[in-house]
Amino acid sequence: MKQSESDPFLDAVRERLDRSADELDELTLARLGAARRRAVEAAGRRNPGPLGDLLAMGRAGHRRWWLPGSLLLLLAAAWLGLNRPAGPGMGALPLVEDLAILGSAEELEFYRDIDFYLWASGEPDKD
């Protein structure tokens, strides 16, 4: 966008952002470098294809995770159904989408912390 090039405000924003990228600390740069090297090494391996993430576990791996994954989703659905917080607009939630996200591997931390959140939310009631 050429119009932005002569705008002092946008020039200042761009310059400040550039500088912040140049001033990253050594630890962060080292972690970035390590991630880059892992990616470059992985590039030489065979292309896993569009289902690569799934197939990378192998067929046995897929079978191994199917049952616990389904049980986890069912348990999550039951728990969320019973403990669903009230709030405006909650009725229109895309439940399936939420469960898919909450059931993903990245959300294990969330389930680990559930006890803490329940305990914390119950604390004021005891006062």
Partner 1 sequence: MRKPPSFPGLTRAPCIGGPPDSRGTVFEEWGEVNDQALNRFLSGVERRALRMAAISTGSPDDALDIVQDAMMKLATRYAGRREAEWGGLFHRILQNGITDWHRRNRVRNRWRPPIGDGGAATTAPPDPVAALPATARHQPDRKLHDADTLAMLERAIRHLPLRQQQAFMLRLWEGLSVAETARAMGCSEGSIKTHYSRAVKNLRTALEGYWP
Enumerate binding residues for partner 1 (CB under 8 A): 1, 4-5, 8-14, 16-22, 24, 28-29, 31-32, 35-40, 42-50, 52, 80, 83-85, 87, 90, 93, 97-98, 101-102, 104, 106-107, 110, 117-118, 120-121, 123-124
Instruction: Give min distance, CB of 74 to partner 1, in A.
Output: 16
Minimum CB separation of residue 125 from partner 1 in Å reads 11
Question: Which CB, 68 or 85, lies closer to partner 1?
Answer: 85
Q: How far apart are CA 92 and CA 99, in angstroms?
A: 14
DSSP class per residue in 19-54:
HHHHT--HHHHHHHHHHHHHHHHHHTSPP--TTHHH
Cβ closest to partner 1, residue 63 vs residue 84 = 84
CB of 70 or CB of 83, closer to partner 1: 83
Question: Which residue, 21 or 60, has its beta carbon nearer to partner 1?
Answer: 21
Among 99, 92, 59, residue whose Cα is nearest residue 78? 99
Query: What is the Cα–Cα distance from 12 to 8, expressed in whole angstroms?
Result: 6
DSSP 85: P
